Amino acid sequence: MKRYLIIWLRMTLNSFQTILASRFGIIIFIFGKLLRFGLYLTFIYFLYTGTKGVVGYDRNKMLLFLLNFSFLGAVGQMLFREAYRFRTKLVSGEFDFDLVKPVHPLLKNLAGGFDLLDLLTMPVFIYVLYKVLSLINFNTSQFIFYGLLFMNGLMIMFAIHVSVLAFGIITTEVDHLVMVYRDLETMGRFPVDIYREPLRQFLTFAVPVGIMFTFPVKAILGLLSWQGMLAAFILGGLSCYFSLRFWNFAVMKYSSASS
């Protein structure tokens, strides 16, 4: 475990150096990310000048859904950015070199490209999230469940990225699939209650955007039943287990055809 941590830190340091080599790019991306974030907040603010509530949620609650989505999404992208570069390695045969090293190939191909840009935007997300949370009434247990479900969401995100990489090994198609996931993820920007059935059930349990993004906020608002929480944790555990099984299956099928 200690060895893996040292390797991850080394890879993270390398990733920082690569990103810092293009300082102008950092400014553009951070400006773009914060602008997008700010425009969404502005949109929600002005939307509620014309309407009192959307599917029963007032302005602060809707902002909380949006902020939780932005924060969790940014944490996921920060940790798993390397997945977006996997296809190039597959089609060029570079992936062969990762397989012969005495480290699990997922470490490098999933977590080897820690994204400094997302880390730099994080303080803004955390500050605004803290401000909105201070406007909402909740108790300690609700906050603890929020934290646990947030981590559970991150686990599901890990499982989805592993599955995308595994699918990539079999089909060499990664880029668009990971972007399809990102688009599906954006459906969690607002509570899944806005979608009508059967799409709502699909987004809650099949994708499962609802469990990742809507459930933590519902927990802190005291709107989530214990059955819902139990289902979320079971699904989180199962998704990790099956994604790793799928990865092992895919690696066995890897033919190294392009190398």
Partner 1 sequence: MRKYLTVFTVSWQNGFVYRLNFLLWRLRSVIVIITVYYFWDAVFRNGGVIFGYTRDKILTYVFLTLILRSLILGQRSMDAAGEISDGRLSNYLLKPLNYHFYWFTRDLADKLLNMAFSVIEIILLYFILQPPVFLQTNIFILIYFLLTVILAVILNYLLGNASSYFSFWTPGNAWGFWFLYLVFQDFLGGVAFPLDIFPKAAYGLIMLLPFPYLLYYPANIYLGKISGADIFQGFIIMLFWIGIIIWLLRQEWRWGLKNYQAEGR
Interacting residue with partner 1 among 4, 43, 130, 249 (CB under 8 A) = 43
C-alpha–C-alpha distance, residues 43 and 53, integer Å? 14
Shortest CB 32 distance to partner 1, Å: 5
Helices then strands, counting H and E runs in the chain, come out as 13, 0
Which has the closest alpha carbon to 152: 73, 234, 77, 66? 234
Query: 71, 54, 193: which is closest to 132 by C-alpha?
Result: 71
Q: Which of 5, 51, 102, 137 binds partner 1 (CB under 8 A)?
A: 51
Within 8 A by CB and 6+ apart from 205, the residues are 211, 231, 235
Of residues 96 and 175, the one with the C-beta less far from partner 1: 175
The site map against partner 1 for 161-180 (x = CB under 8 A) is ----------x-x-xxx-xx
Q: Does 46 bind partner 1 (CB under 8 A)?
A: yes
Q: What distance lies between CA 108 and its chain's CA centroid?
A: 18
> SS3 of 51, please?
coil
> Does residue number 197 form part of the binding site for partner 1 (CB under 8 A)?
no
Establish if 99 lies at the interface with partner 1 (CB under 8 A). no
> Which residue in 183, 227, 253, 257 binds partner 1 (CB under 8 A)?
183
194 near partner 1, rule: CB under 8 A: yes
The reply on whether position 69 binds partner 1 by CB under 8 A is no
In angstroms, what is the minimal distance from the CB of 150 to partner 1?
22
Tokens, residue 39: 């425009």
Given candidates 20, 135, 151, 199, which one binds partner 1 under the rule CB under 8 A? 199
Choosing from 125, 195, 213, 246, the residue that interacts with partner 1 (CB under 8 A) is 195
3-state DSSP percent of the chain in helix, strand and coil, to 5: 80, 0, 20
Q: Is 67 in the site for partner 1 (CB under 8 A)?
A: no
Between 146 and 190, whose beta carbon lies closer to partner 1? 190
Query: Which DSSP symbol is given to 1?
Result: -
Residues contacting 247, CB < 8 A, separation 6+ = 106, 162, 163, 165, 166
Give the three-state DSSP class for 226.
Answer: helix
Residues found near partner 1 in the complex (CB under 8 A): 21-22, 24-25, 28-29, 31-32, 35-36, 39-40, 42-43, 46-47, 50-51, 54-55, 171, 173, 175-177, 179-180, 183-184, 186-187, 189-190, 193-196, 199
